[in-house]
């Protein structure tokens, strides 16, 4: 699935830990947040950027407020940048629509549930293994 949306190289997290590779990355978007900040920084180039998504759930290393504070403080002392992913806004939607219509982005829809099965949809999302979006059809 990840290759089908444009990835050139894929690391299977069940087999390898990307923070233990020799490879250094200019940009890491951490969607899962199950590595320590120091592990992520080690995988970055000297002036690379780490973007933290708003991870939730078990194994994630620090609460949202703590992450914001840490990102703010660290950014003043190190060359690497630590940022929080912005919240989606209404202004983003037309940009996303244009990119999707131009074929530059392909949304991945895993499952679609009827409104009456919203609880089941949320349980599935909460499993931590939904691939892309879970849709409630209204
Ligand atoms: N969904 C939203 O509307 C929304 C809104 C704001 C922020 N976010 C944030 O965006 C991030 C992604 O959310 P999500 O809704 O897509 O659900 P999610 O449950 O965080 O992501 C599920 C996906 O992550 C993969 N995954 C699980 N553990 C992994 C690991 N250790 N390393 C790499 N991949 C792993 C799963 O693949 P496998 O099945 O192969 O394990 C599955 O494809 C989260 O941090 C969430 O808090 C989501």
pLDDT digits (tens, 9 = 90+) for 34-57: 888 889 989 999 999 999 886 554
58 and 39 both lie in a single domain = yes
Q: Which atom of ligand 1 is nearest to the CA of 54?
A: 47
Q: Which atom of ligand 1 is nearest to the CA of 57?
A: 47
Task: Report the Cα 126 to chain-centroid distance in Å.
Answer: 15
CA of 29 to the centre of ligand 1 (A): 12
Residue 112 has pLDDT above 50, yes or no: yes
Question: For residue 56, what are the CA distances in angstroms to 32, 33, 45?
Answer: 8, 8, 26
Percent of the chain with pLDDT over 90: 58
CA of 69 to the centre of ligand 1 (A): 23
24 and 71 both lie in a single domain = yes
| Residue 79 lies in domain | 3-106
31 and 48 both lie in a single domain = yes
pLDDT confidence bin for 84, thresholds 50/70/90? confident
Residue 124 has pLDDT above 70, yes or no: yes
Residue 88 has phi, psi (to 5 degrees) of -65, 145
83 and 102 both lie in a single domain = yes
């Amino acid at each position: 699935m990840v290759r089908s949306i444009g990835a050139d190289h894929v690391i299977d997290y069940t087999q390898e830990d990307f923070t233990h590779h020799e490879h250094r990355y200019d940009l890491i978007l951490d969607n899962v947040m199950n590595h320590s900040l120091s592990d992520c920084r080690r995988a970055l180039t000297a002036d690379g950027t780490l973007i933290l998504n708003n991870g939730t759930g078990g194994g994630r290393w620090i609460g949202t407020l703590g992450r914001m504070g840490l990102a703010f403080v660290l950014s003043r002392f190190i060359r690497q940048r630590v940022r929080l992913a912005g919240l989606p806004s209404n202004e983003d939607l037309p940009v996303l629509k244009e990119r999707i219509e131009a074929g530059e982005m392909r949304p991945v829809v895993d499952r679609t549930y009827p409104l009456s099965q919203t609880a089941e949809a949320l349980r599935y999302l909460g499993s931590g293994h939904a691939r892309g979006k879970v849709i409630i059809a209204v």
